[in-house]
Each structure stands twice: as C-alpha cells, then as structure tokens.
Amino acid sequence: MMVALKLTYAANLLVAGWIGIYSLFLPKTAIITVFSNAYEPTEVVRLVGCLWLAIALLSAFGLWKPMIFSPVLFIQLIYKGGWLLFVATPAIVKGESFPRGMAVFFVIWVAVLPFVIPWKDWF
C-alpha cells in the first residue's frame, strides 16, 4: 500500500506540478497544451494552476508522510470525477469542444485512486 501511495504522490508531483506551473505562469501556453484549445485563456486557468500546484506540494509532503496526506487523493477523486460527470460528459453528448487528453487522464486517475486511497485506515 505504501509503495502505491508514494507512486501516486510522485505522479501528482510531476504532472500536477508541471500543469500547475504552466497554468499559473504561462496560461496561454496551458490553453494550447493542457486544455487543447477548448477554452479561452482567462484568469480561471491561473486559478486551476493554483489548485494543481497545491496538489503537487501536498503530494511532495505525501512522499514523506503517505497516510497523513492521503486525503488529497480523495479530493482529486471528487473533483476529477465531478469534472468528468458535469463537464466532459455533457460536452461529449452535445458535441462541444473539451480537453480530450485531460479527460482521458482523469478517467485513468478516477479508476486508479479508489484502489490507492487507504480506506481501511480512514474508517
């Protein structure tokens, strides 16, 4: 269990950190690379960048204290699952533009996280 948690934190650190930096400091580049030109560059991109940098920072701490920082994984499960349900799915149904690469990554992450989150230790 600890190895899976640490691998998840490492992936968060790399992916969320990279996306967070681009979204916060280079939002126009993030719109092209991360968001697949599906949205206009607004300050919301920077807000998302702050969220992802926070996840990366908490994941860095999770590498040393995996159990203490495991709730960040639950937060990711909720917001990524919510985004898939309330943003990506309606866009697919309506034939609207949305970041497909992000959606694929979110689907994988939502499928993996329930097996990594230490539910037994929480309850």
82-114 pLDDT, tens digit each: 999 999 999 999 999 999 999 999 999 999 999
- Listed by start position, the domains of the chain span 2-122
Average pLDDT, the chain: 94
- Reported as a pLDDT band with limits 50, 70 and 90, residue 1 is confident
- Residue 120 pLDDT more than 90? yes
Sequence-distant (≥ 6) Cβ neighbours of residue 37 within 8 angstroms: 31, 97
- Nearest 5°: CA angle at 10, between 75 and 51? 40
Overall pTM surpassing 0.75 (yes/no): yes
Residue 96 and residue 43 in contact, taking contact as beta carbons nearer than 8 Å: no
**Token pair of 93, please?**
């149904």
Q: For the chain, what percent of residues have pLDDT higher than 70? A: 100
